[in-house]
A and B are shown apart, each in its own frame.
Chain A
Amino acid sequence: MISVAVLLSGVAVLLAAAVAAIALKHSPSVTRVIYGATLIVSLAIAATALHHLVSAAAAPSLIALPLGLPWVGAHFRLDALSSFFLFVVGSGSAASSLYGLGHGLHEKAPRRVLPFFPAFLAGMMLVILADDAFTFLLSWEFMSLASWALVMAHHHDRDNARAGYVYLVMASFGTLALILAFGLLAGAGGGYDFASIRAAEHTPHLDALVLALVLLGAGSKAGLVPLHVWLPLAHPAAPSHVSALMSGVMTKVAVYGFVRLIFDLLGEPTWWAGMIVLILGGITSVLGVLYALMQHDLKRLLAYHTVENIGIIFIGLGLALAFQANGMNWAAALALTAALFHVFNHALFKSLLFFGAGAVLAATGERDMERLGGLIHRMPYTSIAFLVGCVAISALPPLNGFVSEWLTFQAILQSPELPQWGLKIMVPAVGAMLALSAALAAACFVKAFGITFLGRARSSAAETAEEVDRFSLAAMFAFAGLCLLAGILPGFVIDGLAPVTQSLVTGRMPVQTEIPWFSIVPIAESRSSYNGLLVFVFIAISATLAVLAIHRFASHAVRRAPAWDCGWPDPSPETQYTAASFAQPIRRVYATYAFRAKETVEMPAPGDRRPAQLVVRLQDLVWDYLYEPIAGVVGLAAGRLNELQFLTIRRYLGLVFLALVSLLTVIALWT
């Protein structure tokens, strides 16, 4: 009661801040005031949620307000699951506000951002707190619309306008699917609060339908392939700290929606539900990273990586469903912990990377990697923080990304104990896909970091870039530090997640914090264990020793020799390795089929002094073979239905009449 009241008043302050942003729009300090307020409120909310998760053993805290629909009211509830997600959202929002304190000053149209930013935060938090279908859907739509307004902040850009349009269509579609899912869950009795949905009995057919609808609704918001198309358009279009929120946090709210509906409200899962989620997750992770590798726009690359990471999270969730359906609660807890741990990790490093991309954008005005380079000299702090994010997202020890992916693999290794042959075969295949996507992600971030920060500047903007302000750096380093902490002390996170798994799959992983030396042991010591601290200390000591050894024992004599020509044949930075050339081998291997990549060399005729050109054409099959036909059918239907606007009065009456009679006929035949 008290915690949820505190959280709701925090949300109310955020909404008030949104109104204040409109009222204070002429004040010169409005940016500082708004971001300062959201920073404080977000920190308070994250702290309250964390306190509730850790202390109260996550006994649910309820409140019902006389708002919303009459006789229904608005129910709010804080349990283990929602306090975990609220902590993720709160910390992401806090860092984003901190970053906004500095980055927001570069904003050309602050009036288009400031009122919607607190509203967006409030929307996400309300979704997590909601305890009845009406409040949930209302907050969900509020969140979507607020983020849409933020995507449209720079609406003069044609690409942004298109991104906003696609986003709006997909968001409405997703909400529609969720409305239908809730309608099915509530049934004819119409108990729309979560407590009565949870108590109701559901038939297997209904289960399948609800799963499909939730995958459409929450999946479209999270970015599951093939519903991901809006994501790489919309996320980069927003201002960078909002991109970080959308990519790092809002997709997590979608994951929350999925977990709440499928694990909590729907009740006992079936094994094929896990199989479907697992396969979708596998496909999403591989395709997401392949898309990302083809991108040269830094923010769009990051957005595609969100798709990949959502895939990894859904692999974990699918495994948890499959294990739970077979009564293997300890394994389900392991898989669910892995998925939720990855939720937390991805919120950290994706926000961090978007902050870095935003810093690069603010310093150079460029998002295209082919026009960057050499920024490590101009922006040393940003590049260190970005490097930490890259290492974390590439799942390299000792950072946090490794831990959650390792836990996911541990869950995959339990698959031989599953009774169904379909799962026994499919889970290792998905494991292979996960391994592939992890490797490709590493390649992708070598490209992202290497092309952007190493080498020589490819444009004058990159050559004259300045380090960004302290607020931005503080936000980046805060998250970089958290990435490292979660990586070397993962036991605390795993134990923090225990109440969540306990309430959802009635199982938990072994207590980790009592194991000496901060090791983590997913199942039993004899099977596997990992110690992030040890890896970190080893890397630190061996690197220090290597540096010392080189400085101590290497020759100090200066030698002069001609540079290795292949490295620097030409002083022009154009001759450097580019993002496209880095991606070429992978493109040739995978994208020839996945995206129908075609390379053509346009060779000028002898005597013609034009330079030769290499043209690469990629085709997005999902867009061409799924969305284009749907758009065509919708357009055709709209064209036909348009004639309905010009009928005679009698025909309109006739339509009403026919509709009535046919509905009555349906009733007559049905009952």
Chain B
Amino acid sequence: MDGLIFDIAHLLAGGLVLVSFMMLYQDRLYALLNVYALHALVLALSVAWQAFAQDAPHLYVTALIALVFKAIIIPVALHRMIARLGIHREIETVVGIGPTMLAGMGLVALSMVVMLRVTAAADPMAREDLAFALAVVLLGLLMMVTRRNAVSQVVGFMSLENGLVLAATGARGMPLVVEISVAFSILIALIVIGIMLFRIRERFDTVDVHALDRFRGERR
């Protein structure tokens, strides 16, 4: 039984990394949002499985929060935002897909090496979980760096946060209050970012952050 529990947890966490990779090569915004919803879904499943495995009922609440906010509300909100901004047809490629994927693989390898060595004494399930979580965080950051559109940067940030939640649930003893407050702060961040996006758009007629740089008169 223990082996099965471990395997399923491993599968779900690994699935999260896989979905992160999928996000890296989505160059259309709607597709990106759909993959993000999938990402949040896998996270919710993974957290729920951790709740079962660790016998920690409050993690079910976390899973529910992840499901409701991250897999439903945030993607829908961003969907509407994109529709209202009228940028659903935009295609953005800053760095080619090939190099991005290669960099992503390097990051995953790095996080494995770091985490598995550092946490040698820890429980194997938490170790795997932490290693995958670090990989998800790094991939989210990579996405923020390689994208130019403000919306996809927001999505990158959200997926980074998913990685943090994964890490937090993998390590035992994360209080529910912290979890809930993190979820709400992410929601508020989304609202703020949304408002910012519309303001940027009002002023510059685009949400390409490159326009901001041009406005500041900087060379690139």
Residues of A that sit less than 8 Å from B by CB: 646-650, 653-654, 656-657, 660-661, 664-665, 667-668, 671
Contact = CB atoms under 8 A, between A and B. Distances in A.
A653 B144 contact: yes
Contact of A660 (B141, B148, B153, B210): B141
A650 B209 contact: yes
B8 interface: no
A646 B110 CA distance: 31
Closest 9 CB pairs of A and B: A648-B213, A668-B113, A668-B114, A654-B145, A657-B141, A671-B117, A653-B145, A664-B114, A657-B145
9 contacts: A648-B218, A650-B209, A653-B153, A657-B142, A657-B145, A660-B138, A665-B110, A667-B114, A668-B110
A671 B118 contact: yes
A653 B142 CA distance: 9
Is the contact region of chain B dominated by helix, strand, or loop, or is it mixed?
Answer: helix
Given A661-B107, A661-B138, A649 B145 contact: no
B162 interface: no
A657 B146 CA distance: 11
Interface in B31-46: none
Nearest to A671: B117
Contacts of B209: 648-650
Contacts of B220: 648
A306 to B, nearest CB: 51
A156 B141 CA distance: 52
Contact of A653 (B107, B141, B218): B141
B104 to A, nearest CB: 12
Contacts of A667: 114, 117-118
Contact of B117 (A649, A650, A656, A668): A668
B110 A661 contact: yes
Contacts of B210: 648
A649 B212 contact: yes
A328 B220 CA distance: 68
B50 interface: no
Contacts of A647: 218
Contacts of B216: 646
Contacts of A657: 141-142, 144-145
Contacts of A664: 110-111, 114, 134, 138
Interface string B165-207: 0000000000000000000000000000000000000000000
Nearest to B146: A650
A647 B220 CA distance: 9
Given A648-B220, A668-B110, 5 more contacts: A648-B218, A657-B141, A661-B107, A664-B110, A671-B118
Contacts of A656: 141
Contacts of B111: 664
A650 B153 CA distance: 10
Contacts of A661: 107, 110, 138
Nearest to A646: B218
A650 B113 CA distance: 27
A656 B111 CA distance: 16
Interface string B105-127: 00100110110011000000000
B159 to A, nearest CB: 14
Contacts of A668: 110, 113-114, 117
A133 B212 CA distance: 47
A295 to B, nearest CB: 52
A118 B216 CA distance: 51
A665 B216 CA distance: 34
Contacts of B107: 661
A649 B153 CA distance: 11
Contacts of B114: 664, 667-668
B202 to A, nearest CB: 18
A657 B141 CA distance: 7
A648 B216 CA distance: 9
Interface string B136-152: 00100110110010000
Nearest to A669: B113
Contacts of B144: 653, 657
Contacts of A671: 117-118
A653 to B, nearest CB: 5
Interface in B77-129: 94, 107, 110-111, 113-114, 117-118
Contacts of B94: 650
A498 B55 CA distance: 66
Nearest to B137: A660
Contacts of B134: 664
A240 B76 CA distance: 74
A366 B209 CA distance: 64
A223 to B, nearest CB: 45
A653 B212 CA distance: 15
A661 B145 CA distance: 13
A125 B114 CA distance: 47
B215 to A, nearest CB: 11
A490 B111 CA distance: 68
Contacts of A646: 216, 218
Contacts of B118: 667, 671
A647 B145 CA distance: 13
A664 B210 CA distance: 29
A343 to B, nearest CB: 49
Nearest to B106: A661
Contacts of B142: 657
A22 to B, nearest CB: 42
A649 B146 CA distance: 11
A660 B110 CA distance: 11
Nearest to B144: A653
A81 B215 CA distance: 64
Given A661-B110, A667-B114, A668-B113, A650 B138 contact: no
Most buried by B among A648, A657, A665, A671: A648
B173 to A, nearest CB: 20
A286 B212 CA distance: 62
A653 B209 CA distance: 12
A663 to B, nearest CB: 9
A653 B118 CA distance: 26
Most buried by B among A650, A657, A671: A650
Nearest to A652: B145
Contacts of A649: 209, 212-213
A657 B157 CA distance: 13
Contacts of B153: 653
Contacts of B213: 648-649
B145 A650 contact: yes
B182 to A, nearest CB: 20
Contacts of B117: 667-668, 671
Nearest to A648: B213
Contacts of A660: 138, 141
A629 B168 CA distance: 49
A649 B145 CA distance: 9
Nearest to A670: B117
Nearest to A658: B145
A650 B143 CA distance: 11
A649 B113 CA distance: 30
Contacts of B138: 660-661, 664
Contacts of B212: 648-649
B97 to A, nearest CB: 18
B110 A650 contact: no
B106 to A, nearest CB: 9
Contacts of B145: 650, 653-654, 657
A646 B134 CA distance: 30
A664 B115 CA distance: 9
A657 B137 CA distance: 10
Contacts of A650: 94, 145, 148, 209
A657 B220 CA distance: 19
